[in-house]
Amino acid sequence: MKLGSVFDSRNNALNACRLALATEVILFHSFPLTGRVVESKAILQLLFSVGVDGFFALSGFLITASWLRNPDVREYFVARALRILPGYYIVLAITAFVVAPLSVAIQGGSAARLLFSSAPVEYVLKNSALVQLQLDVGGTPHDIPYPGIWNASLWSLVFEVMCYIAVAGLGLLGLASRRWTAPVILILATIAAIMLPPLTFPGLWTIPQLAVRSAIMFSAGALLYQWRDRIPARWSLVAVSVVIVLFSGMLPDYRVLGALPLAYAVVVSGVLIKNKRMNIHTDLSYGVYIYASPTQQLLAVAGLYALNPFVFFGVSAVATLIPAAFSWFLIEKRALALKSRLKRKRATSAGTLGVEPAVADSVALRERALSPHEDS
């Protein structure tokens, strides 16, 4: 079976895969946030990479599909903005005005002094353009193994948006539908990765390194969609891909060899799984991703950093589900509903301009049916 024939946008486990990837990020953060070190360089590289890289691969697959299905620039960017920005701004505000003051109170300080200072507003404003310009809120968190940063995950969102812009740009140039586009970008990005110093943890990450990392993984996912009618979808190949990824962890930059296998393993697994319980429409993955780090840091402030990293991971994962559920049901789901209403409104407007109402409505309904698995 080919990937294109197996992929059903309404019956897959891609949301479950995204939730698993977000949870993997929690696992990695559990080591530095408790002051522990992963001794094996190969394991460490994969541990701090595969969660975010898998997200980018899935985005490459789904965003390419979204653009090719409906290459309307306005609808495309409205959909992307409504999926990312509402939850993002709320997590900034909650971190600044709730989590940071609470951490001060836990440590015996004056929460009111921080709350009514300029620090919370500065944190929100300086990070409002998706670029992380301020990591702390008035010097918090402090007196923990990994001080001075509340959210170690938000850095990736600006690169995600850059990938969205690149897809639209290529689409407007007529290149998004060309089969050679994604392979060429993947090859060029891989060459750039070979020429640049590899990403390490701990280490200083530069913008070129992060841009190349994002381009490799996003283009790998896009390649899978563009070649979906030629690429076989088999569990045996998923297993082979996992082995290649594990082996590539011994390289200075595993993505040079393991980017496409990782993308294949994540995407094809999500497509092949047809179990109804895994076909979840309550998509907590984005909420887990953006709330996990401040939740973990608050737990560390409360003294839980003394726990074993794996125990800390378990506690953190469960605790993160609370704000993640809040984000989905009160923020993200309502934003997606607004996107659906805007599409229906535009479909109605199209009917007044001479487009058959039945045709316009069918397009809107098709878009709505596909939207649950579009992207995070």
Structural domain of 64: 3-373
Q: What are the tens digits of pLDDT across the range 213-249?
A: 999 999 999 999 999 999 999 999 999 999 999 999 9
Q: What are the tens digits of pLDDT across the range 295-329?
A: 999 999 999 999 999 999 999 999 999 999 999 99
- The 8-class DSSP code of residue 143 comes to S
Buried b / exposed e over 97-114, threshold 16 CB at 10 Å, is bbbbbbbbeebeeebeeb
pLDDT of residue 362: 43
Residue 270 to residue 221: CA distance in whole angstroms: 13
Hey, what are 77's tokens? 């960017």
Total structural domains within the chain: 1
Residues 222 and 187 sit within 8 Å (Cβ to Cβ): no
Buried b / exposed e over 259-294, threshold 16 CB at 10 Å, is bbbbbbbbbbbbbbbeeeebbbeebbbbbbbbbbbb
Q: Which residues in the chain come in under a pLDDT of 70?
A: 344, 346-376
pTM: 0.91
